[in-house]
Structure 1
Amino acid sequence: MTAAPSSAGIATGKGPNGLQGQAPRKVNFDLKQSGIYIALALIVVAFTVATGGDLLAPQNLSNIIVQYSYILVLAIGMVLIIIAGHIDLSVGSVVAASGAFAAVLMVEMNLPWPIAVLATLAFGALIGAFQGYWVAYFGIPAFIVTLAGMLLFRAITYRILGNKGIGPFPEDVRTLANGFTPGWLNNIALGPLGGADLFSIIVGLLVVAGMVFVQYRTRNARIRYNQAVDPGWLFGLKVLAPAVLVMFLVVQLARFRNLPWVLILLAVLVVGYTLVTNRAVFGRQIYAVGGNLQAATLSGVKVKSVVFWLFVNMGVLASLAGLIFAGRLNLAGPTAGNSFELDAIAAAFIGGAAVQGGVGKVVGAITGGLIMGVINNGAGLLGWQTETVMFVKGVVLLGAVAFDVWSKRRTAGAK
């Protein structure tokens, strides 16, 4: 008689062939992947203590989201470019040119804002196609092409605007950048916290439920295929921690002026691009191109097409960021977008993207962007000088890249 296997540290499930199997419990803590979230938490705690809690005040949290939303939009496109092994230095100038183009259409030509918005996004796509052609099909390095684009599109912005700004923008465009969801339901009492919009609370609960469902389904799928999973306590912690953070943010926003429209837009973008990178063939091709270009080519990946469409996508997102930024200021100015490319690149690298390409996540880039936003906001609350803020951001960026290089060398040495 064969002895039954021990149940300690394992779970029983069915493998892909329907037979009973064992899914071992294994503590899976990747410092490289998890370090960015720990860093964000530590930075938030440090600035919360330093500002006496003002950093996490409802109005200030809303300000962080609204004020840095365009950087987060740019970071989504930038991390995909970096994963593929390229860079885009022109996004700040594209933001300015797109804002100027939209202002001419909406303000001077009085086109209906939906048509003007679609035309502006198409304008960004054309810019991305222009740069993508030179990189993908002509073979010029992306650094050179987008450096030239930085100058070209800034010059186009000055050509359109001269030394003046154009505004104001239509109310609907301003609402996208600065507006909040209306209180569709009555407020709900939260005891010492006061009242909060019930609709926003319901949205937050639905988001948390979706997060829990996805993680639970992923865990069960791994068990069915007899793959290692986290112990129950660690899985619960990984589910509970982000759920608490999401609900805290939603409650604070609901106590102020409800959910910013731009936050809803960002949520849609994050979910959409995460699905593309994790589930779609195109997403896997992006990682293949950045991870090993020669292997991707031999595997039949249309490398030139992938790179071309990545730059088209970056152009569209830069135009969207330009619309948000111009709507927030209610003005299209010739100096808009200055240094935005640096913040977007920093967000991607701080968020875990590898310098060599092939590594990175959309959620990581968003987290990196939030780190930059929290530093900027917290520094403003504390009255730091500009040079101090620049110094801290530089140290954080250098530290993130140094950690990436160190972890790669450590992994290679372990092998």
Structure 2
Amino acid sequence: MKFLNEAKTLLKENVREYGMYIALAVIMITFTITTDGLFMSSRNISNLINQTGYIAVLAIGMTLVIVIRHIDLSVGFLSGFLGAICAIMLTFWGWPVYLAVPLILIFGILIGFFNGFLVAKVGIPAFVASLAGWLIFRGLLLWVTESSGTIVISDKYFNAIGNGFIPDIANVGNFHLLTVILGAVAILLYIYSEFRSRKIKQKYNFEVTSMSIFILKLVFLSGIIAYITWILAGYNGLSWTIVIVAVTAFIYHFVTTKTVLGRHIYALGGNPEAAKLSGVNIKKITFMVFCSMGMLSALSGILFASRLQSATTTAGTLFEMDAIAAAYVGGVSAAGGVGKITGSLVGALVMTSLVSGMNLMGVGIYYQYIIRGAVLAAAVIFDVTTRRAAK
């Protein structure tokens, strides 16, 4: 009885964090039943995660932008434009991948710096500044692709970023051994991290959950990691897209949870005036967040162009909406100051799972947009309701 009461209390107090995982589980179970198991097949899950990649990295950047109480509507066509520039470098100029990709990332940072300048220095509202960017980059994308319409990329190394898989260490039939090993390592690192975090909290007399709840959480999440690993190992293993997204998410998770910069970002979002009085350099933080957003937009453009093996005039369409939706579904607060990188990744997976599942079911595109809009509205309503209840 005590165990159930504690579990109920824990769920109630962390409803924002756990709600997204429950939503993802419900979506996956529903589509698995309605598609006779096709949704959870190794091939579909592998494709699903790869399709999530370019939106996931945008959602990571958008999380920080929303946390500091701003928005960036330009990221979609900025992503498409920089992807097209990268395609031009590779196809028409003959540049190698190791030169073109870093340069595109630097371009993204510079554009993000300019957006940050408009917001932090000039004082233009982020909505207006980024809307102007949306129009500018849309026009630039049409301009650079005007002559050919579609720029086909033939560079095998670049195309491997969005379509390739990490090689296996041994030939075990249709089973990817290296993926299983990496999955086991990930589980061990997760368990070690949780025990270490619990020990630190106990050292400073912070409240922790009972050992039974703690163990249940470890078993549950470790089981999810193991299951996903097993599914991916059944179809080519881990893709380079997954590796890139995982590394990016790890870096941003570390920065936001373990560094002074991360604390300043959340302090700025929680209460700008208090943060300023506490010595937080608001303009510097704003610059850094928008530079980060620009770089991740460039990375998203690279992943998308690589996956399609081409750059098109429609690249980047509605990317910003998917990124914003992923952030909100993942638990980012519309009021700022609240949101996790891991949550936004789950939010991106929720949105992509909806599209994938509805496509497998043959749902019309008009219904798909309506349902995705309803999910976004539900996420914002959930945010407002939980914040109101907390007060």
User: What TM-score, normalized to structure 2?
Assistant: 0.95
Read off the aligned partner of 1:87 and give its amino acid letter.
I
Aligned to 1:184: 169
1:220 aligns with one of 170, 192, 199: 199
CA distance in 2, matches of 1:186, 1:160: 44
Read off the aligned partner of 2:297 and give its amino acid letter.
A
The answer as to 2:291 corresponding to 1:312 is yes
Structure having the larger proportion of residues in helix: 2
| Aligned-residue offset at 1:27 | 5.5
1:57 aligns with one of 32, 38, 41: 41
Which SS does the other structure have where 1:384 is aligned? coil
Which SS does the other structure have where 1:196 is aligned? coil
Aligned to 1:266: 245
Aligned to 1:88: 72
* Count of matched residue positions in the alignment of Structure 1 and Structure 2: 384
CA distance in 1, matches of 2:7, 2:115: 48
CA RMSD of aligned residues (A): 1.6
The answer as to 2:30 corresponding to 1:28 is no
Spell out, residue by residue over 1:327-348, the C-alpha distance to the aligned partner (whole angstroms, 9 max, x if none).
Answer: 1111111210100000000000
Aligned to 2:282: 303
Aligned to 2:178: 199
1:373 aligns with one of 352, 366, 369: 352
Read off the aligned partner of 1:28 and give its amino acid letter.
L
The answer as to 2:155 corresponding to 1:170 is yes
Identity %: 39
1:38 aligns with one of 16, 22, 25: 22
- Structure 2 unmatched ranges of 5 or more: none
**Matched-pair contact (CA < 8 Å) for 1:347–1:369:** yes
**Matched-pair contact (CA < 8 Å) for 1:85–1:357:** yes
2:365 aligns with one of 383, 386, 401: 386
State how 1:348-367 maps to structure 2 within 5 Å. Answer: 348-367=327-346
Aligned to 1:13: none
| Aligned-residue offset at 1:234 | 0.8
1:402 aligns with one of 355, 373, 381: 381
| Aligned-residue offset at 1:225 | 2.1
Give the number of the structure whose alpha-carbon radius of gyration is greater: 1
**Matched-pair contact (CA < 8 Å) for 1:165–1:332:** yes
| Aligned-residue offset at 1:26 | 11
| Aligned-residue offset at 1:125 | 1.1
CA distance in 1, matches of 2:221, 2:170: 26
CA distance in 1, matches of 2:7, 2:64: 33
CA distance in 2, matches of 1:226, 1:290: 27
Spell out, residue by residue over 1:15-63, the C-alpha distance to the aligned partner (whole angstroms, 9 max, x if none).
Answer: xxxxxxxxx9996331121111111111111111111111110000011
The answer as to 2:105 corresponding to 1:121 is yes
Read off the aligned partner of 1:46 and give its amino acid letter.
T
State how 1:105-144 maps to structure 2 within 5 Å. Answer: 105-144=89-128
| Aligned-residue offset at 1:94 | 0.5
